[in-house]
Structure 1
Amino acid sequence: MSDDLQPLSPEEGVDRFLRHHRPSVRDTSFRNAKHRLSVFLEWCDERDIENLNTLDGRELADFVDWRRADVAPITLQKQLSSVRQALRWWADIEAVDEGVAEKLHAPDLPDGAQSKDVFLDAQRAKTALEYFDRHHYGSRDHALIALLWRTGMRRSAAQSIDVDDLEPDDHAVRVEHRPETGTTLKNGDDGNRWVYLGPKWFAVLTAYRDNPDRPRVTDDHGRQPLFTTQQGTRPTGDTIYKWVVRALHPCTYGECPHDETPRSCDARGSDGHPAQCPSARSPHAIRRGAITHHLNQETTPEIVSERMDVSLEVLYEHYDARTEREKMEVRRENLP
């Protein structure tokens, strides 16, 4: 530790960084950074770290080991990037040693984890939805997976939906940016839209809405969220992530492909970490799979762009997971 460092507690360091960071980023990016650094503060509290000056490579390696037990590798990469950014800024204000940020190493990702290869396959989505349709019709998991697969919307959009946003005459759902009453969309007001579900999928949502097991909730703004928790609240983005990952575990609707049992599996049970399942699929993976499926079903990219609230450039770069042969088949069907 350098003698030139000025003492700074983790809490004050995070507050200072967030104040510096706030004017230069979008609301969503700021909230993500705030959440990721709250996890870092939790670790500092557990380790009794009261001064950022003491951070070194070995302690940062311990932080990585501590966090990797709870999240998927791609999520860990993103969380560490925010901490690394804060470490560089703390070095500039003489709170940590210069270069300590470069000692925060993220584990290598499995092949394809950063690419379009990680998506929910259409056949797997069909199998899961058929299971829920037969055994848990109108349950929370059924409604959530059906909505995300049918529409490809982001979890923030699903989180924002109220009971009153269901439009029965059109078998559609309204998605609106409402920051003044607690919910936001990634693209702000530009993300406002009506999304067509069709009678079959709309019926699943209304069955969930009317399910006696669904907690009836009115939030602090007088709104009635569609998706609710047993604690009587609107779910957070992290809660929706956990619901989706667990609902899409293969053993939820079939046999485990990894030769595990509920007792031996690290992803199941009250102490399990759902994201550790090798077959785990996140809401973003459903979105990528839904976009790919729409394209394979010959929905034009322009319509997919509007429906899923994604630019054509981003769609092609990050979401179109079709093989070259699948792309050819779609083109062939549209040739004269």
Structure 2
Amino acid sequence: MSDELDPITPESAMSYYLDARRYDLSDDTIQSHRYRLKSFVRWLQSPDHGSGEVMNMNDVDLRTVHAYRVFKREENFEGDDPCAAVTMKGQVSTLRTFLSFIADIDAVSEDLAERIRIPRIDDGDGVSDAVLEAERARTILDYLNRWEYATVEHVALLLLWRTSCRLGGLRALDVSDFDREDNALCFRHRPETGTGLKNGSHGERDVSLKPRVAKVVEEYIDGPHRDRVTDEHGRAPLITTTHGRPSTTTIRMWCYKWTRPCAIGEGCPDNRVIEECDATYIEHASKCPFSVSSHPFRAGSITAYRDAGTPREVLSDRGDVSETVLEKHYDRASSRQRMRRRQDFIPDDL
């Protein structure tokens, strides 16, 4: 440990970093950094991992970081799978940013972050294959339309699918962001009251809704299923729970819940005995191998719009995503699907 460094515990360093960055990172990014850094701090302080407990960030060096990478790649904590390439890249990128930031307060050496190499991944390795197929989404939404009409969970999943929005964008909506006259939703960046958009003010946009979708939203707002609550900032959220604006975890849980085949009256593709399956419990819905979280809703929605002929630039504006990122990370069309999209644009008499 260098005499020039100032002692600080891993928890204090993490708290300092997250507090200092709360205004220049979106809520979702802060949550992601908190999750990754908590794992690092837990590993540092666990006597069962590494070379013993590390209670002072001054003792963290390149060998420490390497040992952590090996642990995450080969073992990981009980209940967590070893990190794949894309996950490891995110872990190391966040850790490098964190160490660079706390070097300013003499918690670690100045050159430590610069010496950490970000894992390289081949084309395709950074793209998740998880996607909610359009036919599957329609089946789920038809069920909710029939049996859970205009409930908060119906509206949440309907808007995720129809607007291609991010989970954080859905959570940020207020009742006043729904324009009844024009059948539109207004996504606004409000970091000062806890609902910043991922791309800041650049992510602000108005998104049109088809009349039948707007009708569901309107009947939800006027009906008995929306909790008449305000959040801690006095705002009236569009998507609510009895406690106010839902957390991202809650909305993600709704996605897992309703994408289980058994939740909409279908048989289990794995032929499990429903009464004996842990995934039938809402809190364990993510354990169902056929359930998906919110991101596959977004990827599936964008792919379905592209298959229906929606131009890439339209989806870029509507979903707040660059055309390059849209093509690589969100459009899950197969080579044959892409061929069919192009057919209408190929002249017969060239």
Into which bin does the TM-score normalised by the smaller protein fall? Answer: 0.7 to 0.9
2:194 pairs with 159, 182, 195, which one?
A: 182
In structure 1, C-alpha distance between the alignment counterparts of 2:338 and 2:69, rounded to whole Å:
48
1:224 aligns with 2:236: yes
1:51 pairs with 52, 55, 58, which one?
A: 55
Map of 1:108 onto structure 2: none
Map of 1:107 onto structure 2: none
* Counterparts of residues 58-97 of structure 1 (less than 5 Å): 64-66=76-78, 68=80, 80-81=91-92, 84-85=95-96, 93=107
* 25 and 76 in structure 1: CA distance in 2 versus 1, 3 angstrom threshold: same
In structure 2, C-alpha distance between the alignment counterparts of 1:75 and 1:236, rounded to whole Å:
25
Q: Deviations over 1:16-56 (max 9, x none)?
A: 55478x39974453442134434666788998978256987
Map of 1:105 onto structure 2: none
In structure 2, C-alpha distance between the alignment counterparts of 1:262 and 1:281, rounded to whole Å:
19
1:165 aligns with 2:188: no
Deviation at 1:291, TM superposition (A): 0.6
Is contact 1:116–1:288 with CA below 8 Å preserved after alignment? no
Q: Which moved more, 1:11-20 or 1:233-242?
A: 11-20
1:187 alignment partner AA:
N
* Counterparts of residues 239-318 of structure 1 (less than 5 Å): 239-253=250-264, 254-269=266-281, 272-318=283-329
Q: Deviations over 1:132-173 (max 9, x none)?
A: 111111122211111111110111110011111111112211
Is contact 1:72–1:276 with CA below 8 Å preserved after alignment? no
Map of 2:121 onto structure 1: none
* 261 and 225 in structure 1: CA distance in 2 versus 1, 3 angstrom threshold: farther
Deviation at 1:265, TM superposition (A): 2.7
2:140 alignment partner AA:
A
* 178 and 74 in structure 1: CA distance in 2 versus 1, 3 angstrom threshold: farther
* Counterparts of residues 24-35 of structure 1 (less than 5 Å): 26-28=25-27, 29-35=29-35
2:55 alignment partner AA:
N
Deviation at 1:176, TM superposition (A): 0.9
Deviation at 1:234, TM superposition (A): 0.6
1:125 pairs with 114, 117, 137, which one?
A: 137
Partner SS state of residue 207, structure 2:
strand
Partner SS state of residue 276, structure 2:
coil
In structure 2, C-alpha distance between the alignment counterparts of 1:143 and 1:74, rounded to whole Å:
35
- Please give the root-mean-square deviation of Cα atoms over the aligned residues, in Å: 4.0
Give percent identity, aligned residues only: 34
Is contact 1:218–1:225 with CA below 8 Å preserved after alignment? yes
Map of 1:206 onto structure 2: 218
Is contact 2:26–2:200 with CA below 8 Å preserved after alignment? no
In structure 1, C-alpha distance between the alignment counterparts of 2:329 and 2:208, rounded to whole Å:
24
1:9 alignment partner AA:
T
Deviation at 1:307, TM superposition (A): 0.9
Q: Deviations over 1:118-141 (max 9, x none)?
A: 111001001101111111111222
Deviation at 1:248, TM superposition (A): 1.5
TM-score (norm 2): 0.75
1:238 aligns with 2:249: yes
Question: Unaligned 5+ residue runs, structure 2?
Answer: 117-123
Q: Which moved more, 1:315-324 or 1:292-301?
A: 315-324
Deviation at 1:292, TM superposition (A): 0.6
